[in-house]
Structure 1
Amino acid sequence: MRIIIDCDPGNGVPGANIDDGLALALAIAAPQLSLELISIVAGNTPVETGYAVASDLIQRLGAAVPVRQGAARALREAPEPWRDRLDRSVDRCGLRELWARTPAPPPRPAGKPLAPQAIGELICDNPGAITLVATGPLTNVAIALQLYPELVRAVNEIVIMGGTFHVPGYIKDTNFGLDPEAAHAVLTSGAPITLVPMDVTTRTQLRHTDLDRLSAVENDLSRYLEQTLRPWIAYSMQTRGLPGCWIHDALTIAWLLDPSLTTVVEDYVDVSLDGLTRGMTCRYGREGLRLEVGIPEPRGAKVRILQSIDNDRLLALIEGYIHSYI
């Protein structure tokens, strides 16, 4: 399977989530996947930081995968409140020292913001052959759809980590909340979409003991994950009261490798653009609504939505591919 991963990785960055990096590692380790492009969007990290993280991983592995820098901010949403939340929380919590022994990704010369063009050209030049996996805000994907309208029919599938329906404490998630207009444009585009929402990803869990097993076999990928995942697990335990950390984005790649890991339903999905609910994800297939007054007809096409996950099988799958990496 030929894939693009559009992401916002933060491995090695104090306070930044590591799930994009784990998704990249799994995609690189799986021989049945051909990772043909990594595109970077601002989200979990600023776009320059994500570009440095992905470039560092590819250089460490000697992999021949192009990395392209993309959108530095959302289509309309103001970036400052999000950057304050995402980039400075580690210092407000006083937990930067957790990364004291983790080498930071070296800065890279700023790449040109060509990710949307690279995404559109690769998909449209290979109709039906490319699956696009989006694990950050959907800004790059929305711009690619604007530049290449034929992408809707040319893409094999778009697999999106984003959205939340019934997760306590979340009206919206970071990926859709940071750029609601982009999420709305992609979800209602009519492209074939599989959604991996927080409702299922918050049922994943990676503990220190799981990472011990993951890194028991030494290779370049396991060493990288040991270095960069360990502090985030500790950070997540202290700030979220979890026994480990969620691995949201890794589920997108794991599902491609083994769809039987999850159950799936279909529904129409959109994102609110106004008021208190701005950035909130809505399921609104009319046949499932008990009250539809004032609710418009669905736009786009039905979206497949992952519902459940066997976490033990998920971890075993990740471990197997990372251990077999050469």
Structure 2
Amino acid sequence: MKRIIIDCDPGNGIAGANTDDGLAIALALASPLLSLELITTVAGNTPCETGAQVAKDLIVRLGLDIPVVQGATQALQEDPAPWRETLDKRVEKLELVKLWQGVRQPDAVMADGDDAAEAMGKLICDNPGEITLVAIGPLTNVALAMQRYPAMAESVAEIVIMGGVFALDDYIKDTNFGVDPEAAHYVLHSGATLTLVPMDVTTQTLLTQQDLTRLTDIDHPLTQFVRETLRPWIDYSMRTRRLPGCWIHDALVVAWLLNQRVACGIDYRVDIELREGATRGKSWRYRQPLRVDVGIPAHCGALVHVLHSVDNDVLLTIIQKAFASLKN
């Protein structure tokens, strides 16, 4: 059994907020091969307090004893205001709030603490080599934990990150790295064992309404949570992204921990742009040797394993098997 921490920004039940974090948490909870020992939340897809409320409400509904600790409310340096304007109010501007009509919102429950960096860093450093960190939001909490616990980079078994975008039409940067470029840069260069799951691969995933009905055809509070909260998001994605369903970015991260046949990866040198301008927050990668290397230092960027292709059928099968185990 793999011991994990999930650092996230869930928005299940919140109008206009992505639900893939909640699906990733549900997959981890359903899988007998994973032991979810801590959930931490960060400002990103949702404000930090909202994400903590979503996660804690789910844990309470399931009668579980997993601590939920909220963390950073804003990035290390990036101004949060433009991001919050876009992420929190876009659904209203598009007049699609109605899609969430009748969807249960999370109860106003209190998180188990407000120092995610401390909780994360202590658990990892107290258990060297035993904890895998699943980082599926901006990396602010992770960077703060590493600054407070210098041994964390070598103590964590692995950090699997959903973030970055390299060669995808209509994207210069993604939300997770864009919200806090400095934190992403810090973690990439920390020396920890890293696997990166960028949007280039997560946009190869797809969950349709028909898939959702099939995968959650089990009478259990966890599958009910997934079914209720993902239905409006799928409709939202179909209208705003012209997809036949929705991408399930973060679920791929957890699925890869369960079965690495779900995706293929290659080692790259990876970095992120920190300078002001249109490309701030943009991630980039290359493999050696470069055909043109003028002005580029040797070993520029951090060595990271990057996933680049996914088998969506395998992904959905992994989710289905995990949810089916809830009947036992």
Given the two structures, how large is their TM-score scaled by the length of structure 2? 0.97
Residues in 1 aligned to 2:311 and 2:97: alpha-carbon distance in whole angstroms: 32
Residues in 2 aligned to 1:300 and 1:6: alpha-carbon distance in whole angstroms: 24
Residues in 2 aligned to 1:300 and 1:173: alpha-carbon distance in whole angstroms: 18
Alignment match, 2:281: 279
**Letter aligned with residue 304 of structure 1:** H
- Which structure 2 residue ranges, 5 or more long, are not aligned? none
**Letter aligned with residue 284 of structure 2:** C
Alignment match, 2:102: 101
Q: Could you say what the CA RMSD is over the residues aligned between the two structures, in angstroms?
A: 1.2
Aligned length: 325
CA contact (8 A) 1:189 1:300 kept: no
Cα displacement (A) at 1:113: 2.6
SS in 1 for 2:225: helix
Alignment match, 2:263: 262
Q: How does 1:6-25 map onto structure 2 within 5 Å?
A: 6-25=7-26
Deviations 1:2-29 (A, max 9, x none): 0000000000000000000000000000
SS in 2 for 1:263: strand
CA contact (8 A) 1:232 1:245 kept: yes
Q: How does 1:240-259 map onto structure 2 within 5 Å?
A: 240-259=241-260
- Which structure 1 residue ranges, 5 or more long, are not aligned? none
Alignment match, 1:30: 31
Moved more, 98-107 or 64-73: 98-107
Identity of aligned residues (%): 58
SS in 1 for 2:24: helix
Given the two structures, how large is their TM-score scaled by the length of structure 1? 0.97
Alignment match, 1:54: 55
Residues in 2 aligned to 1:207 and 1:221: alpha-carbon distance in whole angstroms: 19
1:141 is the counterpart of 2:160: no
Alignment match, 2:306: 305
CA contact (8 A) 1:41 1:47 kept: yes
Deviations 1:192-232 (A, max 9, x none): 00000001000000000001101212211111111100000
CA contact (8 A) 1:68 1:115 kept: yes
Deviations 1:82-137 (A, max 9, x none): 00100000000100010011011122346643100111000000000000000000
Q: How does 1:95-174 map onto structure 2 within 5 Å?
A: 95-109=96-110, 112-174=113-175
Cα displacement (A) at 1:281: 0.5
Residues in 1 aligned to 2:229 and 2:207: alpha-carbon distance in whole angstroms: 13
Residues in 2 aligned to 1:300 and 1:148: alpha-carbon distance in whole angstroms: 23
**Letter aligned with residue 278 of structure 2:** L
Cα displacement (A) at 1:302: 1.5
Deviations 1:160-198 (A, max 9, x none): 000001110000000000000000000011110000000
